[in-house]
A and B are shown apart, each in its own frame.
Chain A
Amino acid sequence: MAELRTEEMVLNMGPQHPSTHGVLRVELVVDGEVVVDAIPHIGYLHRCFEKHAEVMSYQQIVPYCDRMDYLGSMNNDHAYVLGVEKLLNIQVPQRVEYIRVIMAEFQRIASHLVSIGTYGLDIGAFTPFLFCFRDREMILDLFEMTCGARLLYNYMWPGGLSHDLPPGFVEKARAFIKHFRPAIKELNELLSYNEIFVKRTANVGVLPADIAINYGASGPTLRGSGVKWDLRKCEPYSVYDKFDWDIVVGTGEMGTLGDCWDRYMVKVWEIEQSLRIIEQALDTLPEGDVQAAIPKRVRPPVGEVYVRSESPRGELAYYIVSDGSQKPYRVKGRAPSFSNLSLLPEISRGYLIADMIAIIGSVDITLGDVDR
């Protein structure tokens, strides 16, 4: 049997494949069902963010940031406005910071819910997907109530916010948290600790910590490998240092440290941490004006800033270079999905095609983020 000659087959996965989470194309070299090599091809969703940014004023760029990672719009805006404010050297009122953190954490939960739900879908469990979307819908309702938009908000502006919180927001947010805590438990019973689900994801796509760091992985992908690294704690920005919460890391509980299950589970645990942050922020929300510091015309001094933030997918950073004019000289978006996706070949060799789906899903990419 050993001499049996087999031929490798090239299998084109995507760009229209239900489990590539967008227009990703992966060229799979397979031997039977075993993946010999996987070569991601990206760029199908390239919208020239960086080129656009060069011809717009600093404020006008915010809506474009929304569209980078369309599942984490608030986090994108947050990072960008932090960068511009750092460059301008302006201090924003505490209330603004608090509201931003609340929004960013809600967005993180919403984004993780999509990620968890679609991951269940990839593995073949349809029902958790809809449970997740039901809860995400409530978060979107909160966003809609605040700024009128459900996906792309343009809510955070350099120096402030477009609107203050509407009346009733805090109560509604608390009601959501009260409803949502048991929902996580339900999700865990239905999916996370499901025997088949664990079998499908544990010991699959194992990513050792050193390789993860070397590939520039961040966010749940890095933490799933057991690295205690979260920018909200390690390089605190905004008001994250005022809240009491923990960095969750993969434990290798079901299999090997850094497998798909760990990467998945980190997201579930992170949702709980985000709820903790939101609760504290709601409790201590200061009063004040949210538009006081918004400059009419933005002309940062000549200089550059590289601002890092923790988006749902990992380290989202903007490298903003100013030449002193009203338009930035260069804006580079350092997208977490971009680096996370680049390690796909590394962790998918030798697994089956079915595992490939599990691996892509667990790395949790948004193609808008990858291609910008």
Chain B
Amino acid sequence: MIAQALHQHSRREFLQHAAGGLGAIALGQLAQGMPPTHVAPKAKRVIYLFQSGGPPQLDLLDYKPQLRAHQGEDVPESVFNGQRLTGMTAGQTSFPVAASTFDFHQHGKSGLWLSEVMPHLGTVADDICVVKSLETEAINHDPAITFLQTGFQIAGRPSMGAWLSYGLGNANENLPAFVAMLSGNGGQPLYDRLWGAGFLPSEHQGVRFRSGKDPVLYLNNPAGMSSALRRHTLDDLGKLNRLRLEATGDQEIEARIAQYEMAYRMQTSVPELTDVSDEPESTFRLYGEDARKPGTYAYNALMARRLSERGTRFVQLFHRGWDTHGNLPNQLRARCQETDQASAALVTDLKQRGLLDETLVVWGGEFGRTVYCQGQLTAKTYGRDHHPRCFSIWLAGGGMKPGHAHGETDDYSYNIARDPVTAHDLHATMLHLLGVHHEKLTYRFQGRHYRLTDVHGRVLQDLLA
């Protein structure tokens, strides 16, 4: 039914604008039941594991062993090269190097260097592609996370998932095309706009799945209203609406009836999805015991797999609490404790089920963190400020080159030394893997043909398998 709604919508848009955009391309292909794509797709869907707050690349994925020899020394002026600092540390009188307290080890045949604080990630080293040379334009959380999610720092633009829902439609009639799930207590806040539809029609906005009685807002009937009685009321509603359809001739009424029916089906399909009692014990050994507890990252990761099995186009997890300005080692251990096993488990699980090839998994935050210490550097602890000039993420499956590291930073993980990657490049590459040419997925708003990649972006051929 969503496909039908999309179809009708696309047709309207198309007639109104008579302009390009995937809406137009989708039309013909949808009519033939084919996925509407510009190039041959490698991936059918995306799971984006967003680590909100800015994970420290130096302690996780960007190994700089030589920094221990410079512990406590000021970062050389030549490294800063006049770059701006945030208002939080710009007033510091010294910028001492804080080498990572964590040891790194090589893993798998690929020999990727990974931090000991993420031991489980090592088990999938040969399946992931680490990008160490991502950069962003923003230096503060809100503009940075908004930029990563929408391609723009300012509010009002559609998020990645909304673009995909708009471009590719839904593959499951009983579940939304784009699902967002939140976990983590405290830390940087999250906003509706991160999974919002911006100027796209609101049916493309991500549906926030929550823990508790109503995984989707207002999913359950009011107290005392049984499912059988709800069925009766919907039948009566349908009869009355059809009478109105006859009287007014407005075909929209038919579409409205269809949405009520889909709502009813969701009342069954969503509980089926979120009820993990049908999972074998091995699932919880793989993801960890947390995966039994709704609202945890591990549970959400398991949900991501279950949604992917059902064809959901874009699943995005948001885990809060990576904003490690002070007391980084303890904070980082806690975050990794919450997420590492489940992130790796998701890759393993998808692979075992034969879904990894068609599912692109992305792990990462909105920016990196500084090599220099924020606040007091002691033998035991340190903090790191925001750092937009470079940060690291990893990707897996969906046509990415496995067991590969891309890009390099300088000795201080401060500037990019080789192969810089922008958020636009990342978006362009993701779309490419899904069969979409990033310059052709457009929506006309304020007289402009907007894209997820603004006026930038290139497909990172080096990363493709």
A binds B: no
Give me the interface of A with B, judged by CB distance under 8 Å.
Answer: none
Give me the interface of B with A, judged by CB distance under 8 Å.
Answer: none
